[in-house]
Amino acid sequence: MMTDPRRFIPRVDEILESQAVKNARAHLAEHVIRARINQVLAAARAGEIAPQAVKDEVEASLIDATPYSLHPVLNATGVIIHTNIGRAPLPPEAVDALVAAAGYTDVELDLETGLRSKNRGRAAIEALLAACPGAEDALVVNNGAAALLLATAALAPEEEVIISRGELIEIGAGFRLPELIESTSVRLKEIGATNRTHLADYEHAVTEKTGAILKVHPSNFRIEGFTSSVGIEPLRKLADDRGISLIVDLGSGLLRSDATVPDEPDLQAQLAAGADIVIASGDKLLGGPQAGIMLGTHEAIAKVKQHPLARAVRIDKLRLNALEASVNAPSNAVEDALHLDPAEHLARTEALAQVVGGEVVEHPGRVGGGGAPEHPLPGYAVALDESLAPLLRQGRPAVLPRVHNGQCLIDVRCIPASDDEKLAAAILRAQEQAE
């Protein structure tokens, strides 16, 4: 009679006494360790692992385990603000700020008096006001969608908000701005046509029920050809004449004009043109953490601060500190990638190609994240065999290339020069695996 080999699978209590488990308890909770052990035991019972290999498999499972699941990715796509890998990478100063705010902080404490402070986030706000002096005040919330929801709810409570049909945008993951806004008591009033909206459309739409005009920058698409839209200045005059508010949602977070993306509107210009509130995301062209930034007049910002939703969408202390550091830092990864010197880009690409092989090709980068849609950023990439792409994505470190026209394209635009050797080593490992 044959003996079932599964009888020799080690017992759980025996495995729990192993040195590998004892070492893992320094950084993993007990339930995590047991879950990993159970996974290995299940594989052994299914005949996928030999009983004598169970302890080694448990050790291998625990030795590099971390209590978190997100891991760094080298962005070789040439897309600067890549939503799938977390948008803007934080500058070192902001990373330090996250660590500094990780424990107990004076986020709502006056250290001089020992009493509760009412100036939560004031330092981040002052940093934004210094960087964008056209604003009188500011408020920072959880993200851009929250900022839009709060601004419309506070400035047009139980009233209509007028918006052009050409600006009824769907953002990522299928969320649509009209549905977001109307989830509160605000009602949208659509005007104009998809491609053309005139000042007269706004004028005819304003009634006693109107609370605000909303102008949304179509940041993730472009309409070209027979088009027409209305600028901020004439809308400001109309808003003043009718006693209503003017809200501008830019999304991309460009603080001031930049010749590299000449068609991308900036916050400073919209405020100068007369917007009551301008909304932007912190983790796009601003180069900071996820945040919804509202810059505007004292009166408008006071209204949004007093609205009950403001507490529900409040930003946490970690990102407040990181946002302040991002605005005050001398530069950040988004700015560096956006303004990468073409000669340096080519030299780094040629050096990489010399190490890993492949052909140096012209490769236009992109801003991404809804910024400057269809605006190319001239650059270069190393073209490799397409079969390397999945191996690179699953390596450590993970490398995300661009797969296009049967090629695996490696663009160093968004990779710090200090990581070039790490990138080359990852490619060489993938090439060895592919052989």
Which range of residues forms the domain containing residue 399?
73-83+335-434
Q: Are residues 224 and 319 in the same domain?
A: yes
Give the pLDDT confidence of 334-349 residue by residue, as tens digits: 999 999 999 999 999 9
Has residue 53 been placed in a domain?
yes
Q: How much is the pLDDT for 17?
A: 94
- Per-residue pLDDT, averaged over 13-41, amounts to 95
108 membership: H or E segment, kind and range: none
Has residue 122 been placed in a domain?
yes
Burial 74-111 (b: 16+ CB within 10 A, else e): bbbbbbbbbbebbbbbbbebbeebbeebeeeeebeeee
Q: Are residues 182 and 309 in the same domain?
A: yes
Q: Are residues 191 and 280 in the same domain?
A: yes
Indicate the range of 369-378, 395-404, 424-433 predicted with least confidence. 369-378
Cα Rg, the chain, nearest whole Å: 27
Q: How much is the pLDDT for 1?
A: 47
Burial 395-419 (b: 16+ CB within 10 A, else e): beeebbbbeeeebbbbbbbbbeeee
Q: How much is the pLDDT for 226?
A: 82
Give the pLDDT confidence of 246-289 residue by residue, as tens digits: 999 998 889 989 899 988 899 999 999 999 999 999 999 999 99
Q: 116-121 long-range CB contacts below 8 Å, 24 or more apart? A: 120/320, 121/315, 121/320
Q: How much is the pLDDT for 2?
A: 59
Q: How much is the pLDDT for 219?
A: 67
Has residue 187 been placed in a domain?
yes
Q: Are residues 274 and 241 in the same domain?
A: yes
Q: Are residues 385 and 359 in the same domain?
A: yes
Which pLDDT band holds residue 168 (cuts at 50, 70, 90)?
confident
Q: Are residues 115 and 255 in the same domain?
A: yes
Give the pLDDT confidence of 176-196 residue by residue, as tens digits: 878 888 888 899 999 999 889
Q: How much is the pLDDT for 173?
A: 64
Q: Are 58 and 14 in contact (CB under 8 A)?
A: no
- Per-residue pLDDT, averaged over 229-251, amounts to 96
Give the pLDDT confidence of 246-257 residue by residue, as tens digits: 999 998 889 989
- Per-residue pLDDT, averaged over 216-232, amounts to 82
Closest CA to 402 of 391, 418, 417, 386: 386
Q: Are 293 and 282 in contact (CB under 8 A)?
A: yes
Has residue 3 been placed in a domain?
no
Q: For strand 407-410 and strand 380-385, is the pairing parallel, antiparallel, or unpaired? A: antiparallel
Q: How much is the pLDDT for 172?
A: 67
Has residue 2 been placed in a domain?
no
Q: Are 268 and 134 in contact (CB under 8 A)?
A: yes
Which two structure tokens, joined as six digits, stand for 275? Answer: 């917007």
Give the pLDDT confidence of 355-368 residue by residue, as tens digits: 999 999 999 999 98
215 membership: H or E segment, kind and range: strand 210-216
3-state secondary structure string, 247-313? EEEEECCCCCCCCCCCCCCCHHHHHHHCCCEEEEECCCCCCCCCCEEEEECHHHHHHHHHCCHHHHC
Give the pLDDT confidence of 374-399 residue by residue, as tens digits: 788 999 999 999 999 999 999 999 99
Distance between CA atoms of residues 268 and 278, nearest Å: 9
Distance between CA atoms of residues 401 and 381, nearest Å: 10
Residue type, 7: R
Considering the chain, what is the average pLDDT of its residues? 93
Q: Are residues 361 and 296 in the same domain?
A: no
3-state secondary structure string, 54-87? HHHHHHHHHHCCCCCCCCCEEEECCECCCHHHCC
- Per-residue pLDDT, averaged over 163-187, amounts to 83
Residue 258 CB-half CA count within 13 A: 21
Domain boundary among 279, 300, 330: 330
Q: How much is the pLDDT for 24?
A: 96
Say how many domains are in the chain.
3
Q: Are residues 423 and 315 in the same domain?
A: no
Sign of the C-alpha dihedral computed for residues 162, 165, 167 and 168 taken in this order? positive
Q: How much is the pLDDT for 175?
A: 75
Q: For strand 359-362 and strand 292-296, is the pairing parallel, antiparallel, or unpaired? A: unpaired
Q: Which residues pair with 362 in a beta bridge?
A: 380
Has residue 4 been placed in a domain?
no
Which two structure tokens, joined as six digits, stand for 10? Answer: 């080690």
Q: Are residues 120 and 263 in the same domain?
A: yes
Q: Count of CB atoms within 10 A of residue 349's CB?
A: 22
At 116, is the secondary structure helix, strand, or coil?
strand
Q: How much is the pLDDT for 220?
A: 65
